[in-house]
Amino acid sequence: MLFRTAEKTELKALFDMLVEKNTVVGPVQTDTDRMGKPLFAFEPVTDQAKLRLDYTTTRLPAKRYFLPFREDLATFTTDGRDWTKTIGYNIDRPYVLFGLHACDINALNKLDKVLMGPVYPMPYYAAKRKNMFIIGTDCRPQPFCFCRSMGADTVLHGFDLFLTDIGDKYFIEIQSAEAYEVAKDLRTETPTEADHMQFMRTVAEMNKLFTAHVDTTDLTKILDMEFQSPVWKQWGDKCLGCGTCSNVCPTCYCYGVEETVDVSLKKARKTKTLYSCNVVDFAEVAGGHNFRPERSTRLKYRYYHKHRGFVEAYEESLCVGCGRCGEACLAGITVPEVIASVRGEEQ
Amino acid sequence: MNKHEPTQRTYLGIPVPRPKVAFFELSSCEGCQLQLVNNETTLLNFLSLVDIRAFREAMTEKYDDYTIAFVEGSVTRSDEIERLKKIRATAAVLVAFGSCACFGGVNQLKNRFQDPAWVKKEVYGSHPIETNDTARPLEDFVKVDLKIFGCPVKKEEVEKIVTNVVLGKTIVAPKYPVCMECKANENTCLFDLGEPCLGPITRGGCDSWCPNSRFGCWGCRGPAVDANVEQMQEVMKKHGFSEETMLDRLECFGGFAGHAAEMRNNIKAK
Ligand code: SF4
Ligand code: SF4
Ligand code: SF4
Ligand code: SF4
Ligand code: SF4
């Protein structure tokens, strides 16, 4: 890791340099909610002034750029008895993700383990991931953020550049060779001892802001013990089975595949659609049997995959504590509350 | 169009059957049928996929030999019951086409009038009118083989179903709620914008048609499988919407008629 500092005005130089040859995606304000608060989303940006590096969080993660909600895996054309298959990985230009928070970069690192692991890497994901330049940025923890509990409040790899706002300048971490090349063309300086102090103060202040926590001590064991706990039924009664929690989750990767023949009978496509273990037909198999027909077993399953099964397989949780699922859940079901209830803690 | 029989359609060199199809309307706005004819590029493909024997919106000739009947509209008159039974007797497959046919649709709003005779008099005066007191879905009178939901139906969905019928593939309607598609479309949730929406309990498949244009869902496709209507009430309440606001939507298309009646009873009991 290489450390540099730069004046804030250099941000524009960095942006302009990258936007020339890449699609730059970053946080922008897309709406205002009924309380007058801004809502942010990751959108392609061509003008640096639109970029809102001071964003709180986004309703949806930058998922569309690495795991699109819908994506053609292959298209087919037929001609008599013949047919032609076309496979595209659905990326035409490199992407720059400009301004991801630590949780979202950690989420990508987790997805990498599953989708680019050694046995069956998923080319559609890998093609996008390998053509991605990631710029991280520091954040102000919100009342629903519990990334610290999940060990996802800092990020050690998985990005190219990381910018921390230390007051009058940016503290820059340079992680990759590409980032080194980019930073060469910026006006940067070697950090002074005072810059180091300022960086540490910034991080310490950020840490003070956390209010939501999840106690992960012995959690896999506790989940094993509490498989029959009555709390699952209580949460299941609340759950709408709407799948929103998975759709807004930066680490949920489940999907369904559908083949459709065009009404002309001359074309067909195989489409992948992201799915959620919380929706009713997720565990329905051919013949109509449903392994998890009740909302409570489905909701429980989601927690067991995130906080037990994945931990057993990868020694880390499949939750980065971004809090998006709880914020988006209309039934008000949040990870800290569910886990606390399983642990028998007062809420 | 029957005069110019299109050549036998094939898929991967294999001839595909061209089922004889007829469209009928009972009490309805014919909006569902209109959906099918309003995109001419795919209409021609659609029409060559099936052998249309009757389709008032698209042709004048009419024949009585069909195997698949698409019946739009709800049953509101006694002669419609007779017609429907005759269609059932002819068709091997009867499709309830759109929410009127599936649930009664907007027409079933009249089912809640306490005094239908008075309403009839207010609306039609001394003009004689033959109408039943209730608007009913097809399945109250005949066996329905397939339901295509929506007010109106979604053209793409109908084309997909018909293509799958012709190719002998299974037909599956989404069981999950509209929210799944709404999130995939990356819409801002209507509740965040201070608007009510029945998306969390309504069957998907419309590609979140209304929320895509920032209108809350009115539940035209009826309940999703395992819909949590009780929790929906809590969500509405938490966001400051009255029970009547929710009932207006639940009662609009008939798919939630049972849930709405139960909710009204519970309110009365309180
Ligand atoms: S937990 Fe919430 S967001 Fe997830 S399916 Fe249930 S109601 Fe929907
Ligand atoms: S489970 Fe919830 S808090 Fe955890 S990563 Fe997914 S959206 Fe974020
Ligand atoms: S099983 Fe559920 S929790 Fe796990 S990745 Fe899939 S959708 Fe997400
Ligand atoms: S707008 Fe409606 S359909 Fe969309 S997520 Fe919100 S509640 Fe669900
Ligand atoms: S969003 Fe709701 S009301 Fe609108 S078309 Fe879909 S199901 Fe019908």
Question: What digits encode the pLDDT tens for the residues A257-293?
Answer: 999 999 999 999 999 999 999 999 998 888 889 999 9
**Which of A160, A189, A208 finishes a domain?**
A208
- Chain A residues near residue B176 by CB distance under 8 angstroms: 241-243, 279-281
For residues A293 and A163, membership in a common domain is answered with no
Q: Same structural domain for residues A203 and A251?
A: no
Maximum CA pair distance of chain A? 74
- Does residue A9 fall inside a structural domain? yes
First-last CA distance in chain B: 61
Report the 10 Å Cβ neighbour count for A266.
Answer: 14
* Domain membership flag for residue A169: yes
Is position A307 within any domain? yes
Residue nearest to atom 1 of ligand 2 (CA): A319
Residues of B in contact with A78 (CB under 8 A): 11-12
Strand partners of residue B10: B15
Confidence of residue B63 (pLDDT cuts 50, 70, 90): confident
**Domain end marker among A159, A175, A208:** A208
Instruction: Judge if A200 and A226 occupy the same domain.
Output: no
Would an 8 Å CB–CB cutoff place B40 in contact with chain A? no
Q: Is A329 in the pocket of ligand 1 (CB under 6 A)?
A: yes
Which residues span the domain enclosing A279? 219-342
Residues A200 and A225 placed together within one structural domain of the fold: no
- Summarised one tens digit per residue, pLDDT across range B123-181 is 888 887 788 888 899 999 999 999 999 999 999 999 999 999 999 998 888 999 999 99
How does pLDDT run across A140-175, given as a tens digit for each residue?
A: 999 999 999 999 999 999 999 999 999 999 999 999
- Is residue B199 within 8 angstroms of chain A, CB to CB? yes
Is the same domain home to A179 and A31? yes
- The answer as to whether A74 is a domain residue is no
- A186 contacts: CB under 8 Å, gap ≥ 6: A6, A10, A13, A14, A17
Q: Tell me the pLDDT tens digit for each residue of B115-128.
A: 888 888 888 888 87
Element (H, E) at B217: none
Q: Check if A77 contacts B (Cβ < 8 Å).
A: no
User: How far apart are alpha carbons A127 and A163 in whole angstroms?
Assistant: 26
Q: What is the pLDDT of residue B1?
A: 43
Residues A102 and A245 in one domain: no
> Do residue A10 and residue A147 come from a single domain?
yes
Q: Is the CB of B187 under 6 A from ligand 5?
A: no
Final residue before a domain boundary, out of A208, A243, A275: A208
User: Quick one: A160 and A302 in the same domain?
Assistant: no
Instruction: Give the pLDDT confidence score for residue B40 in this predicted structure.
Output: 77
Confidence band (pLDDT; 50, 70, 90) for B29? confident
What is residue B200's three-state secondary structure? coil
**Contact at CB, B175 and A247, closer than 8 angstroms:** no
A238 touching chain B per CB within 8 A: yes
Is the omega angle on the peptide bond into residue B128 within 30 degrees of 0, that is, cis? no
In a domain, A138, yes or no: yes
Q: Does domain B9-167 have CATH number 3.40.50.700?
A: yes
Which range has the worst mean pLDDT, A39-43, B37-41, B90-94?
B37-41
Both A248 and A123 in a single domain?
no
How does residue B6 score in pLDDT terms, banded at 50, 70 and 90?
Answer: low
Indicate if A47 and A17 belong to the same structural domain: yes
Interval B93-120 mean pLDDT: 88
Answer yes or no: do A157 and A10 share one domain. yes
Q: Does A176 lie in the same domain as A223?
A: no
- For chain B, residues classed under CATH 3.40.50.700 are 9-167
Domain count, chain A: 2
Q: How do beta strands A70-79 and A82-86 pair? A: antiparallel
Does B114 or A234 have the greater pLDDT score?
A234
B interface test, pick of A240, A247, A294 with most B CB neighbours within 10 Å: A240
Contact predicate B259/B265, CB 8 Å: no
